[in-house]
Amino acid sequence: MNMDSRGKGKTIPLLRSFAYAIDGIRTAIIAERNMRIHLLFSFLVIGGSFFFSITRMEWLFIILVISGMFALELINSAIERVVDLVTEEYHPLAKQAKDLAAGAVFLYAIFSVIIGIIVFFPYIRKLFL
């Protein structure tokens, strides 16, 4: 059973739950600067992937990294909003919750860049040799 504030205790039809998820993604893109930055870099990486005709295995890594980054950023934004909803005043645990979520996104972003370097460096090197 899906407990949703829109219909407490009622099961949400599948298509409606997809619409809620899309609303969440749209909200993140509109309201979150970092989500827009991730979106921009995702388009650049996908463009580079087509340009260099990367292998199927490399595509799998690129898709995994991009989708993981979006998912983690959505979770981070949700955590920030819940913390803000619970308390308006400064609390060390609220700060830690936000910092931990942001740290997870930052760590994933670092590893995403490393994976991007591993995938694209050989292609870029070939351009200059």
Per the CB < 8 A criterion, the answer to whether 105 and 76 are in contact is: yes
Nearest-angstrom CA–CA distance, 67 and 47:
16
For the record, the structure tokens of 105 come out as: 């996104």
* CA 42 vs CA 58, 67, 71, 98, 117: distances in Å: 15, 9, 13, 24, 14
Nearest-angstrom CA–CA distance, 113 and 115:
5
Provide the 3-class DSSP secondary structure of residue 4: coil
Catalytic residue list: 73
